[in-house]
């Protein structure tokens, strides 16, 4: 791929998402959130590409993965009005459908098309299959990290807003119950594991899940950027004051800065 193909993809993206905004106010807010997310994931990806010393060609492929990784979110929200895959369809698979139906990668080298599709296909799995080898593995790791870096931003910004102004689908419909936290989520975080989405019952659990992602980052650059951005202390500051939570958060922060 070359630079002009990325510019072309970027214009395609703008044209593709535009019609999804012609909807009611709540839906438009959720769609705008994903458009902005995509742009910010592209920025995080550029930071990671330079931090991890990618070649120019690798950086271009990484940009394409970032730009396209969530295109499935738009048809997903239009059809089901949710970003919860378990209540609709796998948004990574939907993204591949969009890429193929719209022939977004026509003209791109076949092996590069495959690389981009594979990275997108596995970007949202709890754990990508161990059998996947480089170079696909590299792009999967990059998009998973860039995606998380921006999901943290979205969530931290959202928590700073009054509940009635929040984009509803961003918190996956979880109730905001101040003071409530599930013990099993705290235990998971404190054991250095990634908290599973299907064990979360409220927004505080979801914060623990997001803090636990520190254990899932794949590169020193991602960990450095996360530390610089300060998202983990920002999330932790909104959790109930409890010794077991403080211990689990401290452990995550120590891991990050080690």
Q: In the complex, which residues of this chain contact Fe ion (CB under 5 A)?
A: 70, 147
CB of 73 to Fe ion, least distance (A): 8
Nearer to Fe ion, 80 or 182 (CB): 80
Nearer to Fe ion, 70 or 145 (CB): 70
Nearer to Fe ion, 44 or 245 (CB): 44
- The string of DSSP codes covering the chain is --HHHHHHHHHHHHHHHGGGGSS-HHHHHHHHHHHHHHHHHHHHHHHHHHHTT--HHHHHHHHHHHHHTTTTHHHHHHHHS---GGGS--HHHHHHHHHHHTTTTTTS-HHHHHHHHHHHHTTTSSS--TT--TTHHHHHHHHHHHHHHHHHHHHHHHHTS-GGGS-GGGGTT----TT---HHHHHHHHTTPPPPGGG--SHHHHHHHHHHGGGG---HHHHHHHHHHTHHHHHHTTS---HHHHHHHHHHHHHHH-
CB of 44 to Fe ion, least distance (A): 10
Nearer to Fe ion, 138 or 148 (CB): 148
CB of 181 to Fe ion, least distance (A): 26
CB of 162 to Fe ion, least distance (A): 25
């Amino acid at each position: 791929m070359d630079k002009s193909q990325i510019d072309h993809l970027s214009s395609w993206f703008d044209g593709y998402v535009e019609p999804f905004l012609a909807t009611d106010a709540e839906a438009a807010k959720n769609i705008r959130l994903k458009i902005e997310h995509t742009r910010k994931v592209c920025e995080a990806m550029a930071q990671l590409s330079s931090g991890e010393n990618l070649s120019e060609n690798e950086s271009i492929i990484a940009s394409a993965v970032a730009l396209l990784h969530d295109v499935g979110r738009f048809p997903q929200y239009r059809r089901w009005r949710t970003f919860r895959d378990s209540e609709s369809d796998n948004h990574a698979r939907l993204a591949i459908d969009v890429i193929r139906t719209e022939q977004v990668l026509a003209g791109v080298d076949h092996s590069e098309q495959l690389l981009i599709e594979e990275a997108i296909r596995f970007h949202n799995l709890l754990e990508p299959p161990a059998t996947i080898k480089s170079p696909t593995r590299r792009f999967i790791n990059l998009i998973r990290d860039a995606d998380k870096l921006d999901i943290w931003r979205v969530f931290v910004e959202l928590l700073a807003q009054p509940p009635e102004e929040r984009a509803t689908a961003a918190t996956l419909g979880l109730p905001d119950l101040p003071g409530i936290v599930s013990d099993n989520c705290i235990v998971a975080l404190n054991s250095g594991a990634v908290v599973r989405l299907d064990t979360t019952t409220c927004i505080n659990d979801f914060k623990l899940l997001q803090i636990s992602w520190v254990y899932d980052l794949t590169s020193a650059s991602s960990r450095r950027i996360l530390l610089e951005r300060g998202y983990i202390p920002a999330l932790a500051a909104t959790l109930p004051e409890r010794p077991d939570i403080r211990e689990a958060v401290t452990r995550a922060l120590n891991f990050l800065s080690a």
